[in-house]
Amino acid sequence: MNLIDKTALITGGASGIGKATVMEFARSGARVICADIDATKGADLVKEADKFSVEFVAVDLADSASARRCAAEVLERHGRVDILVNAAGWNNIQPFLENTPDYMDRVLAINLGGLLHLTQALLPAMIAANKGKIVNISSDAGRVGSSGETTYAAAKGGVIAFTKSLAREVARYSINVNCICPGPTDTPMLQSRPEKLREAFVRAIPFRRFAKPQEIADAILFFASSRSDYITGQVLSVSGGLTFAG
- The string of pLDDT tens digits covering residues 172-210 is 999 999 999 998 877 777 666 767 777 777 777 877 888
Percent of the chain residues past pLDDT 90, beyond the cut: 81
Residue 152 annotated in active site: yes
Q: Which of 103, 152, 173, 230 is catalytic?
A: 152
pLDDT value of residue 246: 45
Neighbouring residues of 50: CB distance < 8 A, sequence distance ≥ 6: none
pLDDT class for 245, splitting at 50, 70, 90?
Answer: very low
Domain range summary for the chain, segments of one domain joined by + = 7-238
Query: Three-state DSSP class for 238?
Result: strand
11 beta partners: 35
**Reported pTM:** 0.93
pLDDT value of residue 225: 97
* CB-based contact 115:142 (threshold 8 Å): no
Going through the chain in order, the beta strands assigned E by DSSP cover 7-11, 31-36, 54-58, 83-86, 132-137, 175-182, 235-238
Q: Count Cβ atoms within 10 A of the Cβ of residue 131 and give its class: 0-12 exposed, 13-18 middle, 19 or more buried.
A: middle
What sign for the dihedral angle of Cα 141, 133, 14, 117? negative
Selecting from 3.40.30.10, 3.40.50.261, 3.30.1130.10, 3.40.50.720, what CATH number does the domain 7-238 have? 3.40.50.720
Please choose, from the candidates 13, 29, 21, the residue with its C-alpha nearest in 3D space to the C-alpha of residue 70.
13
* CB-based contact 64:75 (threshold 8 Å): no
For residue 142, which phi and psi values (nearest 5 degrees)? -75, -15
pLDDT value of residue 244: 65
- How many other β-carbons are positioned within 10 Å of the β-carbon of residue 11? 29
pLDDT in tens, 118-127: 999 999 999 9
